[in-house]
């Protein structure tokens, strides 16, 4: 059986991943302090950091340019029909940090393609209330 892969070992690709994103503190709007009547006060909600650990969300982000170091195929069950299907996954590396088992649909040849996919996935999740 021949399985076509989209990328080759040594090829540079842009990777997208879903990660936590810090949001601005709603009390100080990210400043870490508040100004009231000309006086600056430390923001107790975010401890002066400008963001609250309770105000984070997950979203897809472009993780930069990486190099494909490993390609493998795995067989997994489709979610609804429980039918085995073969998928291609990759290991990618940059500056000694390896991301393992990245699905092919999270790799792109251009940054613009990766950014467009992140935007689409984030909008889709936002519309579905999955944030």
pLDDT at 131 over 70: no
Kindly tell me if the per-residue pLDDT of 68 is higher than 70: yes
DSSP letters along 14-54, please? EEEEEEEEEEE-TTTTTSSEEEETTEEEE-TTTTTSSEEEE
Q: How large is the average pLDDT for residues 42-51?
A: 87
Higher-confidence residue: 11 or 80? Answer: 11
In degrees rounded to 5, what are phi and psi of residue 2? -105, 130
Output the average pLDDT for the chain.
87
Percent of the chain at pLDDT above 90?
44
- 54 — pLDDT class (breaks 50, 70, 90): low
CA dihedral 9, 12, 18, 19 (to 10 degrees): 110
What is residue 103's three-state secondary structure? strand
């Amino acid at each position: 059986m021949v399985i076509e892969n989209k990328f080759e070992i040594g090829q540079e690709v842009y990777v997208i991943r879903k990660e936590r994103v810090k949001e601005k503190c709603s009390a100080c709007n990210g400043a870490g302090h508040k100004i009231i009547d000309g006086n600056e006060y430390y923001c107790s909600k975010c401890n002066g950091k400008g963001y609250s650990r309770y105000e984070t969300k997950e979203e897809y982000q472009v993780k930069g340019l990486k190099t494909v170091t490993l390609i493998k195929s795995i067989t997994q069950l489709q979610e609804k029909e429980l039918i085995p299907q073969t998928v291609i996954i990759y290991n990618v590396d940059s500056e000694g940090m390896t991301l393992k088992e990245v699905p092919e649909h999270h790799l792109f040849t251009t940054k613009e393609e990766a950014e467009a996919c992140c935007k689409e996935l984030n909008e889709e999740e936002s519309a579905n209330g999955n944030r």
